[in-house]
Amino acid sequence: MTNLTCFKAYDIRGKLGEELNEDIARVIGAAFAHVLGAKRVVLGRDIRPSSGALSNAVAEGLISQGVEVLDLGLSGTEEMYFATTHFQADGGICVTASHNPMDYNGMKMVKAGSAPLDPATELQKVRELAESGSIPAQNASGSIRLAEGARAAYVARVLEFIDISALKPMKLLVNAGNGAAGPTFDAIWDALIAKGAPLEVVRLHHTPDGSFPNGIPNPLLEENQPVTAAAVIAEGADLGIAWDGDFDRCFFFDHMGQFIAGEYVVGLLAEAFLAKEPGAGIVHDPRVIWNTREIVSDKGGNAIQSRTGHAFVKQVMRETGAVYGGEMSAHHYFRDFVACDSGMIPWLLVVELLGRRGQTLHDLMAERIAAFPSSGETNFRVGDVAASIAKIESIYAENAISRDETDGLSLSFDTWRFNLRASNTEPLLRLNIEAKGNAALVQQKLDEIKALL
């Protein structure tokens, strides 16, 4: 039995040649089809040089199990999510490594209804069957065809999230990072303009290019933010938008080029939805919560906490019927988008909200950032994650006014709180700190805990 180390907590990701190749992709495709009993599967891919061959291999594995493969070609992960339900498929796969290094690739997978595979049962069964190398043969032969009309249907769906008549004249700077976002953005943009949206756009690094001549598209990294920020200022744009490689994450810059951290965008989108659906549920992760909870409370919504990670947030979204869910990592989930994450719906909602409010993103966010300053996520490589958490707990827990173990350890005090958790995807310890109106306190506590770790 071969140990396939490309299987991670929720999806597949591995180093090319060592952990993932065409033979492995073919076997995973066949195992996926067999475990789900799939007859129809949607298949998409990102722009990486290896994605075409890996996607073809996945298709071969699916076809060997009698599956009808609906091929999206170059597409975003969210287009696969949408198309899986739109075409009433039994599953969907997007071959993508998103923001991982050049020598990596992977797959994101869903079952019928665009629901994530249960990591402990379904994903584990796919792994075990793929590792066994003995996937039962099927008599029926499958087929592959283009998923005709998929993008047009997707564009129509995402535009249903906004009222185009509420939009005000605005200039956007968009940075696709040479990933998969460009063509999909263009399709949405053309539809917006055709419907009379009073918007203009400047495109940066827009052409898909798997060699990533301007670096791996991951706008969450501080070193990747100045190029978008500078372009926003140089072009006199009202708003900057950037995406990662498979554009399931969306990042914002105000007109001054300031990067807006994901946790504040969660609060902003929560407000947008609660204006349209009073009393609705809003899901958030446990890392940075005070800003979101205050907004949801003030707007009459119901704040619901979930463990960090898309599989957990989607499960809570489906169980509670929450209208929206957001993570500080810039994953945003929408009940009416098959309870999945999208990197295109958020910017549409923000543009609409700015039009309705008649304010800049900077003005909208400045008050929130000042009210609840946060540290951003700090990562630590430690020898023993559990022992490190226990050490911090022994020092701080006694004086905490509340504790929460939804995901790692969260301790709250009168004027500040922290969350310390093991990464779901890497051997790291992740720390987030927030405070009430005191940025200096955030830095003080960050320095304190850094020294201890």
The single-letter DSSP state of residue 406 is S
Q: Are 261 and 291 in contact (CB under 8 A)?
A: no
Residue 145 φ/ψ, nearest 5 degrees: -150, 160
Which DSSP helix (H) or strand (E) runs through 95? strand 91-95
Amino acid, res. 439: A
Token digits of residue 381: 């490589």
CA proximity to 129, closest of 238, 14, 7:
7
- Neighbour order of strands in the sheet with 12-15: 12-15, 104-111, 91-95, 40-45, 68-74, 143-146
Strand (E) or helix (H) holding 417: strand 416-422
**Tokens matching residue 64:** 């060997």
Cα 420 to Cα 425: distance, rounded to the nearest angstrom: 15
Q: Which residues of 288-317 are buried (b: 16+ CB within 10 A; e: fewer)?
A: bbbbbbbbbeebebebbbbbbbbbbbbbbb
CB 55 within 8 A of CB 246: no
Instruction: Give the total residue count for the chain.
Output: 453
| Nearest C-alpha neighbor of 158 from the set 187, 193, 179 | 187
2 φ, ψ to 5°? -90, 135
Q: State the Cα–Cα distance between residues 364 and 254, nearest whole angstrom.
A: 10
Instruction: Determine the residue type at 280.
Output: A
Phi, psi dihedrals of residue 339, rounded to the nearest 5°: 55, 35
- Tokens 């310890």 map to which residue? 429
* Backbone dihedral angles phi then psi of residue 325, each to the nearest 5 degrees: -140, 145
Which amino acids are annotated catalytic?
A: 98
Cα 340 to Cα 49, 82, 263: the distances in Å are 27, 8, 18
CA distance 289 to 378: 16
Place of tokens 């500080």: 328
